[in-house]
Structure 1
C-alpha cells in the first residue's frame, strides 16, 4: 500500500460513488471506484434499485458481494419497478432524478453513517466524501448540505460538456427553441454556432448535444442539463473526467475557466487495468447489465488482421426496423465480415414492439460472414487484431475504447452529446466518418469500404494510432492519469 493509501486508511476516508443508472455511466464509475479502493479508501457504490436487481438476475446472486471495504447498496430512483432487462426511459429517469432523489440520497448517507457507528459489516468509517456522476446533481447538493467533500464525475466528453454548458447562451441568442418541427429538416440545424470559446467557429447547431433539437422551451432534457452544468460549476470541489490530457488539450483552457479544478484520469478502462494491484480484491467485479457472450472472440480468432467490421450501437440507442434493414444490407453488401451486437431492445416498431426478424434472403447473404450477438466484451473485441473498423453510435466509452485499440470509426450518433463526439472524430481528430441520420444501405456500404481500405481510411488509421499512443502513455502504470487521480485523493478527498 502506497503513502496515499496509508493516509486514506489513517484518515478513515469513505467515499460514496453514485453513477447515473445507465451502462455508459456505470462502467467508468466502477473503474474509478476500484481505483479509489486500491488507494485505501472505503467505497460504497450506489446503484438504483432497477439496475441492482437486474445485475443480480443477469450476473448471479453473488455479483454484488463486493469486497472488504467495498460494498454495493441500492437506492430508489422514484420510478415504478421494472422487471424487464431493458434500458430505462432516459427522459423519465432524468426527471425523477432531478426532482425526487435528494432526500432519498441524504437518507441513504445517514443510514451508512448509522451502520458505521454500529460497525456493521466491517464498515466502521462514516462517509467523508461523495463522488457523484455529474448527471446526479443531487449528490453534490446532499454533500454540501451535510458538510462533506464533493467531486463531480463527468463520464462523457469535454466537447460535449462545453456544448451542454452553453445551452443557456443558445436561448439568449434565439437559437433555441426551434420555431417549428420544420426546422429539423429545412437546413436550420446547419446554422453555425460561433459562441463557444475554443470550439470551432464553423460548429453547427446539429453538432451540439441533441436536446436543442426541440420546439419546447420547457423541455425536460434541455433544462436538466442546464441544471447539471450549473451545479457542477458552483457546488463541486473538483471535477474528474474520463479523458486524457493530450486528446482534449485544445479545449482545456475554456473548460478550466468554467469549472472547479479538473483531474483527467482516462481512458479509465486502461488506467484501472494498468494501475490495479494484481491481487486487488475488486479487480474481477463487473457491472454489465447484459450477460457477455464470448463467442464473438472465438469467431474472430484466425481471421486476417483488420478484416472485420465491429458493430455496436451501445446500451441506449434504438432504431426503426427500416434503419435496421438498411444497416444490415449495407454491411452484407460491403463484402466484409462483421460482428454485430444486437440487443433485444435495439429495434422498435411503430407500435412500440421490439420483435424483429431479418428476412431470409438477408440472413442468407450475411450468414457466411457475420456473427450476431446480444452483448460481448467490447474492449477485448476492439483489441483483437482481426477488427479493422468500428461502426458505432459515438458514445464516449466506445470512442475511448476504439481510440485505445487504434481502431478508426464509422459513426451514426443517436442522442445526447454523441453528435458532438461524432463531429470531433470526423473533423477535428480525423479518425471517423459519419453516416447521415436517415440511413441508406448504399451509404453504409460505401463508408465501410472507404474506412476499411480507402485512402481516407488509411489516414484515419494513421491518426488514431497517434492518439492510441498518447492514451497508452497517459494510462500506463504511474502515468499522468494515475498521477492526476492521486492528486485528487490528496488535494480533495483527503483535504
Structure 2
C-alpha cells in the first residue's frame, strides 16, 4: 500500500497560509506525509522560521517553493490580489507540475531538501489546494493526482457566492447605485430573512448608475462554483457555527468536510507569520484588570483612509478603556511625506500609558488573555474563529470579501458581538465599543458559543469526527485513482 503524501498548496496570503498550515500539521499528526507549498517570495520572508517541521520534529513535513512571477519589491497588498492571482497562475504552473510528477533527473527547488529529488518522500498521492486555485486542481487531476479544494472563508459566505447566479436571475444583483442597502436579499437558501444588501460583499455594489457589476465578482463566483469539480471541499468551520449553510452546500459538492476551527485542532503548527509579532503584548496586558482592555486589529492586508483612521482612533480613545491596537506601517493610505501628524498621534497613544500600539500582535495569545474585554475587528474569518473559541465579544467593522456576511452573523445570529458596517464615525465607535465591553448578554452568548465550539474540536466532537473521516478519505484516494465516493 502506497504511503499517503499530500501536497498542500495555499494561496500565498497570510490568512490562507496560516489555516492551511494548521491543516497540514494536523495531517502530519495523523500519520500522513505532507509537502507544504510556499511561493519563493514568502519562503524567503519566513526564513528559518519555516524550516522547522512539526512540533515533534516530524520528518513527514517539508516546505517547498515555486515562483509567483512578481518582483520582490511588489507590495502584494489587498489591492493587488487579482494581479498576484494571474501572475501565480502564469509563472508557477511549470514548477508546480514538476512537483506533482517530478523527473528523476531534475528534482525540485526545496527549502529543506537537498539529498535527492524527492527529499526521501514518497510520490504525491493527493492534492489539497486552495479553492481559489482551480488551475492547480485541474493540473493535478490531469496528472492522475486526486485533488481536494480547501476554502478559507466561512460557509455562509461561500454559500452566498454559490448562490450568486440565482441572485442575478432574480434581479438581486447588481445593486443599483444609491439604492437602499437595508433592502432584504432573496435567493441565498437559509438566509432569506437575514441578509440585506449591505451584508453581501462590496463587489456586489454598483459603483454608479452607468457601471455594470464589477467583473471581479464574476471571477469570485466562478471560483466558488469550480470547487464542485474537486473530489471534496474542506471548510474551516464547525456545525455549531454554520449548520444551515453546510447543509445547503453539501448537495452541490462531491463531498464536504467541516473540520474547524483548525487553529484549535492543531495549535502547535510551525511559524507561518509573514509579519514579526511584538513580544511585549502579553506583559503589557498582564498589568491590566480582567476584561478591561479593547483589542483592535484590522488584519494583515486591510488599508484605510486617513479620515477612517482618525474616526476609529478618536472613538477608541473616547470609549475610555485601555486598548491594544495593531497599527501596521502600511495600513493607512497617505501621500508620501504627509504622515507626520498621523505618526505623531500613534506615538502619543503609545506614550499615554493607556494604550499600546504595535505593528503586529500574537493575536491568539492576546484573545485568550484574561485582560481582553472585546475585539474590534475587520471580521475576517480567521479572526472570527479565534474570537469565537476564546469567548471574546466582537465589534465588527468589515471591509471586503466575506467580512460583510461574517459580521452579520455575529450581530444577528450568534449574537456574540455588534455589527458596525458601513459606518466610520467616532461617536458610533465609542458607543459600540462601550456596549460590547459592558453587555452581559453579549458576553454570555460569546462564552456559550465558545463552550460549544470547544466541544466540537474535542475528541468525538463534530469537527474531530469529520477530520477522522477526512483522513480516511485522503488515504483511500492515495491508494486508488478513483474517488471513494464513486466506488
Which deviates more from structure 2 when the two are superposed, residues 363-372 or residues 106-115?
106-115
TM-score by length of 1: 0.87
What corresponds to 1:491 in structure 2? Answer: 473
Q: Is residue 2:410 matched to residue 1:428?
A: no
TM-score by length of 2: 0.88
- Tell me how far apart the structure 2 counterparts of residues 355 and 419 of structure 1 sit (CA, whole Å): 32
What corresponds to 1:172 in structure 2? Answer: 169
Match of 2:19 among 28, 48, 68: 28
What corresponds to 2:69 in structure 1? Answer: 78
Q: Is residue 2:233 matched to residue 1:243?
A: no
Q: Is the 8 A contact 1:50 1:82 kept in 2?
A: no
Q: Is the 8 A contact 1:347 1:355 kept in 2?
A: no
What corresponds to 2:485 in structure 1? Answer: none
- SS for the counterpart of 1:55 is helix
Superposed displacement of residue 491, structure 1: 2.3
- Tell me how far apart the structure 1 counterparts of residues 339 and 454 of structure 2 sit (CA, whole Å): 39
Match of 1:199 among 191, 194, 212: 191
1:37–1:362: structure 2 CA closer, same or farther, 3 Å change rule?
closer
Which deviates more from structure 2 when the two are superposed, residues 255-264 or residues 290-299?
255-264
Superposed displacement of residue 217, structure 1: 4.9
- Tell me how far apart the structure 1 counterparts of residues 432 and 347 of structure 2 sit (CA, whole Å): 20
- Tell me how far apart the structure 1 counterparts of residues 130 and 319 of structure 2 sit (CA, whole Å): 40
What corresponds to 1:460 in structure 2? Answer: 442
Q: Is the 8 A contact 1:176 1:217 kept in 2?
A: no
Q: Is residue 2:45 matched to residue 1:64?
A: no
- Tell me how far apart the structure 2 counterparts of residues 474 and 480 of structure 1 sit (CA, whole Å): 5
Which ranges of structure 2 fall in alignment gaps of 5 or more residues? 109-114, 478-487
- Tell me how far apart the structure 1 counterparts of residues 181 and 393 of structure 2 sit (CA, whole Å): 26
Q: Is the 8 A contact 1:115 1:124 kept in 2?
A: no
Superposed displacement of residue 332, structure 1: 0.8
Listed as ranges, the matches of 1:6-405 within 5 Å are: 10-56=1-47, 61=48, 63-66=50-53, 67-82=58-73, 89-97=80-88, 101-111=92-102, 115=107, 119-120=116-117, 122-179=119-176, 183=177, 186-214=178-206, 217=212, 219-233=214-228, 235-273=229-267, 283=268, 285-349=270-334, 357-359=342-344, 363=348, 367-405=352-390
- Tell me how far apart the structure 2 counterparts of residues 111 and 292 of structure 1 sit (CA, whole Å): 37
Map Cα deviations across residues 16-72 of structure 1 (whole Å, 9 max, x no partner): 00111111111110000011111121111111222122222xxxx353353512111
What corresponds to 1:415 in structure 2? Answer: 400
- Tell me how far apart the structure 1 counterparts of residues 158 and 257 of structure 2 sit (CA, whole Å): 15
Map Cα deviations across residues 251-289 of structure 1 (whole Å, 9 max, x no partner): 22211122221111111111113xxxxxxxxx4511101
Superposed displacement of residue 360, structure 1: 5.2
What corresponds to 1:276 in structure 2? Answer: none
1:98–1:85: structure 2 CA closer, same or farther, 3 Å change rule?
closer
Q: Is the 8 A contact 1:167 1:222 kept in 2?
A: no
Map Cα deviations across residues 398-442 of structure 1 (whole Å, 9 max, x no partner): 000001110010010010010010111111111121224341111
- Tell me how far apart the structure 2 counterparts of residues 410 and 69 of structure 1 sit (CA, whole Å): 40
Q: Is the 8 A contact 2:126 2:474 kept in 1?
A: no
- Tell me how far apart the structure 2 counterparts of residues 352 and 255 of structure 1 sit (CA, whole Å): 49
Q: Is the 8 A contact 1:346 1:354 kept in 2?
A: no
What corresponds to 2:111 in structure 1? Answer: none
- Tell me how far apart the structure 2 counterparts of residues 124 and 331 of structure 1 sit (CA, whole Å): 52
Aligned-CA RMSD value: 2.6
Which deviates more from structure 2 when the two are superposed, residues 330-339 or residues 457-466?
457-466
Q: Is the 8 A contact 1:244 1:266 kept in 2?
A: yes
Superposed displacement of residue 361, structure 1: 10
Count residues in correspondence.
463
Q: Is the 8 A contact 2:39 2:66 kept in 1?
A: yes
Map Cα deviations across residues 317-360 of structure 1 (whole Å, 9 max, x no partner): 11011111111111111110110111111111267987763445
What corresponds to 1:6 in structure 2? Answer: none
1:351–1:192: structure 2 CA closer, same or farther, 3 Å change rule?
farther
Which ranges of structure 1 fall in alignment gaps of 5 or more residues? 1-9, 274-282
1:197–1:102: structure 2 CA closer, same or farther, 3 Å change rule?
farther
- Tell me how far apart the structure 1 counterparts of residues 179 and 126 of structure 2 sit (CA, whole Å): 47
Which deviates more from structure 2 when the two are superposed, residues 291-300 or residues 470-479?
470-479
Superposed displacement of residue 465, structure 1: 1.0
1:365–1:14: structure 2 CA closer, same or farther, 3 Å change rule?
closer
Superposed displacement of residue 395, structure 1: 0.3
What corresponds to 1:470 in structure 2? Answer: 452
Q: Is the 8 A contact 2:100 2:140 kept in 1?
A: no
- Tell me how far apart the structure 1 counterparts of residues 346 and 70 of structure 2 sit (CA, whole Å): 42
Q: Is the 8 A contact 1:332 1:366 kept in 2?
A: no
